[in-house]
Amino acid sequence: MSFLLSIPGAIAQGILWSIMTLGVYLTFRLLNFADMTVDGSFATGGAIAAVAIIRGIDPLLALLLALLVGAVCGAATGFLNTELGIPALLSGILTEIALYSVNIHILGGPNVSLLNVGTVFTRVTSALGCSATVANVLIGLICTAVAVVVMYWFFGTEIGCAIRATGNNEYMVRAFGVNTKSMTMIGLILSNAFVAFSGGLVAESQGYADVGMGIGTIVIGLASLIIGEVLFGSRFNFAYKLCSVVVGSVIYRIIIAAVLYFGLPASDLKLLTAIIVAIALAVPTLMKRIPGKATVLDEQKTPVSK
């Protein structure tokens, strides 16, 4: 019974974190860019939102501010990669490391509490007279739906298609006169904007921002992404794929809630996440060894450094 009671909270967290997973999907799948900036930009979004609220800025405006700062983080990684020629993986790592110090300066210390401070979640709770979990689900669903619609629309435009084509075969796209450096930059900006926005939502939801809240975020995003791909496949249209990423994030949180219920120490969650990702990544290879079997991931590419 106690496990069943924890499921609504897990669903709420999964929805809030799914916007981050959409950002990871953008870089790792669509752009084919192994972006490690996520661990830093997620915490930056949370830090910006928390500090902005404490200084009297409206909670909604604080989230938009987090989104803009996340875009700047993505632009920093894009500049290192496209203009300075630093490999994709190393570019993200350099930005992530730099953001750790930046986040400490933003927070003015290791963490900031939002106790007794109004957030978008407390507003909904007060207005509707509902529980914090219901408020998290409602706000999460609205924000996630907007993110999915924006991504679906944007990647149907000329620029969006050029970004997807760049991730698929940048040499061919370059031959058609597309500036692949610009496409990579735009993709990284959009991805980290989503990630930071998710960090701001999570910070307002949990009532604090911490300099270490982004550690392991990229692995969580990959785990959610791969779970969605394995369970739902990629046989249908782009909107279906985006929705599967969101559902994968929710399922990941339910799995975490289940293993915690059965006694796994919270300190081992990162280890569990790494194991989930490793198993999911190994599934295509293992399935190929079975004669006549095809996997849902055969058409997906493994992210590589540029």
pLDDT value at 304 more than 50:
no
Cα–Cα distances in Å, from 54 out to 100, 113, 125, 199? 21, 9, 19, 16
Look up the pTM and report it: 0.89
Mean pLDDT of the region 26-50: 93
For residue 303, the model assigns a pLDDT of: 45
294 pLDDT exceeds 60? no
pLDDT above 70: residue 301: no
Q: Assess contact for 91 and 152: CB atoms under 8 A.
A: no
Q: The dihedral of CA 92, 25, 251, 146: what is its sign?
A: positive
pLDDT of 194 reads 96
Write the Ramachandran bin of 165: left for phi over 0, alpha for psi from -120 to 50, otherwise beta: alpha
> 130-141, pLDDT tens digit by residue?
888 899 999 999
The Cα–Cα gap between 256 and 213 comes to 17
Neighbours of 148 (CB within 10 A): 19
Nearest Cα neighbor of 46 from 67, 77, 25, 74 is 67
∠ at Cα 232 (214, 297), nearest 5°? 80
Q: What's the confidence (pLDDT) of residue 267? A: 77
Average pLDDT over residues 183-197: 96
What kind and span of H or E run contains 209? Answer: strand 208-210
Q: By the 8 A CB rule, do 42 and 214 touch?
A: yes
Q: Place 296 in a pLDDT band, splitting at 50, 70 and 90.
A: very low
Q: Higher confidence at residue 204 or residue 290?
A: 204
Indicate if the pLDDT at residue 306 is higher than 60: no
Predicted local confidence at residue 143, as pLDDT: 95
* CA–CA–CA angle 91, 92, 95 (5° rounding): 90
pLDDT digits (tens, 9 = 90+) for 246-270: 999 999 998 888 888 777 787 788 7
Mean pLDDT to the nearest integer, 150-156: 94
Three-state secondary-structure class, residue 276: helix
**Mean pLDDT over the full length of the chain:** 87
The residue to which tokens 């669509």 are assigned: 30
Q: Are 72 and 9 in contact (CB under 8 A)?
A: no
Give yes or no for a contact between 62 and 69, defined as CB atoms under 8 angstroms apart.
no
The predicted structure's pLDDT at residue 79? 96
Q: Of the ranges 232-236, 243-247, 264-268, which one carries the lowest mean pLDDT score?
A: 232-236
Let me know how many helices (H) and strands (E) the chain has, helices first: 11, 2
pLDDT given at position 262:
77
The whole-number pLDDT of residue 299 equals: 47
pLDDT at 116: 85
**CA angle, 246 then 165 then 234, to 5°:** 35
**Cα angle, residue 266 at apex, residues 261 and 268 outer, rounded to 5°:** 110
